[in-house]
Structures are given as C-alpha cells and as structure tokens.
C-alpha cells in the first residue's frame, strides 16, 4: 500500500513537471507578463539553475565582474539584442564564441598593438601613441578629462585606419547586432573604464566567451533561467536591487 502511494505521488509529480515544462515552452517568452503565475513559477525555478550554472561568472545577483569581462545582467545594457527573454535564451542556448556552430561569433575585438591584428580588413597595427590618442578620443566621447589635441588625432584613427567605427559605430554607440559594446555609455565590460583598461582592450584585444547550454540543460530549464536572468534587470529597474 505504501509503495503504491509512493508510486502515485512520484507519478503525479512527474506529470506536474511535464505540464509546467510544456506550458512554459508553448508560451511566447517575451509576453510572459500576461501570465504572471507562469512567469513567477519560471523565475522561482530559474533561480537555482542560475546559482549553480551562471553565478560563478555573472555573480550571485547577476552583477557581473568587470575585472574578468563577465557582463552585468542587471543593467539595461546588452551586448546582443535588447535583453528580451528570447534574446537571453538565444545566448543561453548557443553561447557567445562557444564551440557551437550557432554561437554568436560575428566579430572579435582585434589586438591592435600586435604585429598582425588581423580582421577581415587586414588591419594594420597601431603604435602605443596611436592607442593613447584613440583612448583620449574615447574619453572625449564620454565628456571626461582628456588631451584635446590627442583626442583630435584619435578621432581620425577611430574613423579611418583603426576601423573602430566599423564595429562600434561612427558615434561609438556600439552595435547589438554583432555584439560590439557601446563605448559612450560609461558602462564597461572590461575593467573600470580607466585609461589603462581602455588602452588594454585596444592593445591586446578581447575575446569574451559565454558557454552554450543547449546540450547541458533541458529546454524548459533554459527558458526558466532566461526568464530569471531577465527578471534581474526588471528588479533593478523597479528599484528592488541596486
Ligand atoms: C564561464 C563564465 C560564464 C558562465 C558560466 C556563463 N556566462 Fe554568460 N557570459 C559570459 C561572458 C564572458 C559573456 C560576455 C561575452 C562577450 O564578451 O561577448 C557572457 C554573456 C552573457 C549574456 C549576454 C549579456 C549581454 O550583455 O548581452 C547573457 C544573457 C548571459 N551571458 C547569460 C548567462 C546565463 C543565463 C548563464 C547560465 C546558464 C551564463 N551566462 C553562464 C560568461 C559566462
Ligand atoms: C571587428 C570589430 C571590431 C573592431 C574593428 C574594433 N572593435 Fe572594439 N570591440 C569589439 C568587440 C566585439 C568587443 C567586445 C569584446 C568582447 O566581448 O570580448 C570590443 C571591445 C572593445 C572595448 C572594451 C569595451 C568595454 O566595454 O570594456 C574597447 C575599449 C574597444 N573595443 C575599443 C575599440 C577601438 C578604439 C577600436 C579601434 C581602434 C576598436 N575597438 C575596434 C569589436 C571591434
């Protein structure tokens, strides 16, 4: 009798799991606000997945770690797309520069102080003085203290042989179709936005990688963790976390 009751309970739990997973996967991830119960359920189930799979890089509260190039997921600044649940889910599925054929991997930040920075356009290296000039230009873009003559030289490099404009945009506003960060918004993926950190990014290049989870997590888990990650920036916008 006890065994039978046990089997029934386990069976019922199994069915409930499947019903929730099916409902979540059938829903449009970007309009979950219209089904708040389902959204809350997804958030509560996504939280432990986030803490076991993502927090080691993105931080316990999604705050990121600029000393290692791990982006903050609680701000409204997104490398790819607009931070909708579907955008996040795509990143979680296939990763960024991960060993998966569908991974986001459109462009990389060239190492411009190396003899062969590469890139499709066959970029030429920049000298340390050139890099210092471009750094001054980026300081000017953010209205921070800079050397005006150096910034003027840096702007020319930015818009011509440095090819910076090509990825980051002529206004340095970034391009979320290719994962090129905004350089004008005072939000830095790498380091504290100091001259030294910016210089490093330009001189040595950057190659951030987010793993692909499609072969590790079940589809419903991926949606749950994406809904949870999305809720982190919602919570911040609502002033619940800083
Ligand atoms: C090994 C470290 C690592 C782990 C683990 C990891 N990520 Fe990432 N993630 C990164 C890095 C690095 C980037 C930035 C890649 C780049 O520079 O383009 C990133 C980018 C992202 C982005 C894009 C952020 C933006 O601003 O557009 C999202 C969303 C994301 N990760 C979600 C997750 C979720 C959810 C998990 C857990 C399932 C996870 N990541 C696990 C390192 C990690
Ligand atoms: C081929 C495209 C491409 C070109 C050309 C390029 N970048 Fe980048 N840049 C990127 C990408 C992509 C990233 C993000 C790297 C990552 O996520 O790991 C980046 C990152 C950066 C960062 C770090 C941003 C942060 O938030 O920490 C700086 C600074 C930067 N680029 C400046 C420049 C400058 C200045 C030039 C021109 C001399 C330049 N880039 C040329 C694609 C490019």
Residue 161: exposed, middle, or buried by beta-carbon count in 10 A (0-12, 13-18, 19+)? middle
Contact, 148 vs 77, CB < 8 A? no
Q: Which of 40-49, 202-211, 233-242 has the lowest mean pLDDT?
A: 233-242
pLDDT band at 10 (very low <50, low <70, confident <90, very high): confident
> Does residue 242 carry a pLDDT above 50?
no
Whole-number Å distance between alpha carbons of 44 and 50: 10
- Average pLDDT in the 116-143 region? 91
Is-contact 227 39, C-beta < 8 A? yes
Range of weakest confidence among 47-56, 111-120, 207-216, 218-227? 111-120
User: Half-sphere exposure of residue 72, counting CA atoms within 13 Å on the CB side?
Assistant: 18
CA angle 142, 143, 144 (to 5 degrees): 90
Residue 46 has pLDDT above 70, yes or no: yes
Could you tell me the two tokens for 124? 């030429």
Collect all residues with Cβ–Cβ distance below 8 Å to 175 and sequence separation of at least 6.
167, 168, 169
Residue ID of nearest Cα to ligand 1 atom 8? 210
Taking the centre of ligand 2 as the mean of its atom positions, its distance from the CA of residue 240, in whole angstroms, is 32
Chain centroid offset of residue 193 CA: 17
Average pLDDT over residues 8-14: 82
Alpha-carbon span 13 to 11, nearest angstrom: 5
Sign of the C-alpha dihedral computed for residues 209, 110, 182 and 185 taken in this order = positive
Query: Is the CB of 179 within 6 Å of ligand 1?
Result: yes
Note the pTM of the prediction, 2 decimals: 0.93
pLDDT at 34: 82
Gap from CA of 19 to ligand 2 centroid (Å): 44
Residue 125: alpha-carbon gap to chain centroid? 28
For the chain, report the end-to-end CA distance as a whole number of angstroms: 53
Of 1-5, 54-58, 66-70, the poorest mean pLDDT is in 1-5
* Predicted confidence (pLDDT) per residue in 166-186, tens digit: 999 999 999 999 999 999 999
pLDDT at position 237 is 63
Q: State the chain's mean pLDDT as an integer.
A: 92
Q: What does the alpha-carbon distance between residue 201 and residue 53 come to, in Å, rounded to a whole number?
A: 27
Which atom from ligand 2 is nearest to the alpha carbon of 112? 38
Q: Which domains does the chain have, with CATH numbers?
A: 2-105+210-237 (1.10.760.10), 128-204 (1.10.760.10)
> Is residue 193 scored above 60 in pLDDT?
yes
By mean pLDDT, which of 76-80, 118-122, 188-192, 217-221 is the weakest?
118-122
Which of 14-23, 141-150, 166-175 shows the lowest mean pLDDT across its residues?
14-23
Between the CA of 208 and the centroid of ligand 2 the distance, in Å, is 11
Residue 50, CA atoms < 13 Å, CB-side half-sphere: 26
d(CA 92, CA 50): 11
């Amino acid at each position: 009798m006890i065994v039978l009751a046990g089997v029934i309970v386990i069976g019922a739990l199994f069915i409930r799991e499947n019903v929730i997973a099916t409902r979540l996967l059938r829903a449009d991830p970007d309009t979950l606000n219209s089904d708040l119960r389902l959204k809350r359920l997804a958030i509560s189930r996504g939280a432990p997945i986030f803490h076991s799979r993502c927090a080691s890089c993105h931080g316990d509260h999604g705050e990121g770690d600029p000393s290692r190039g791990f982006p903050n997921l609680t701000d409204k600044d997104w490398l790819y797309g607009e931070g909708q649940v579907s955008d996040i889910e795509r990143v979680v599925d296939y990763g960024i520069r991960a060993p998966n054929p569908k991974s986001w991997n459109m462009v990389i930040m060239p190492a411009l102080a190396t003899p062969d920075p590469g890139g499709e356009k066959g970029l030429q290296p920049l000298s340390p003085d050139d890099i210092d000039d471009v750094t001054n230009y980026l300081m000017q873009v953010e209205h921070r203290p800079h050397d005006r003559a150096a910034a003027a030289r840096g702007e020319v490099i930015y818009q011509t042989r440095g090819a910076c404009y090509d990825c980051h945009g002529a206004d340095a506003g970034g391009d979320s179709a290719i994962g090129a960060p905004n350089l004008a918004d005072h939000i830095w993926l790498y380091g504290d936005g100091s001259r030294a950190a910016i210089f490093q990014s330009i001189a040595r290049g950057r190659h951030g990688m987010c793993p692909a989870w499609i072969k590790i997590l079940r589809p419903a888990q991926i949606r749950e963790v994406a809904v949870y990650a999305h809720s982190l920036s919602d919570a911040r916008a609502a002033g619940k976390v800083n």
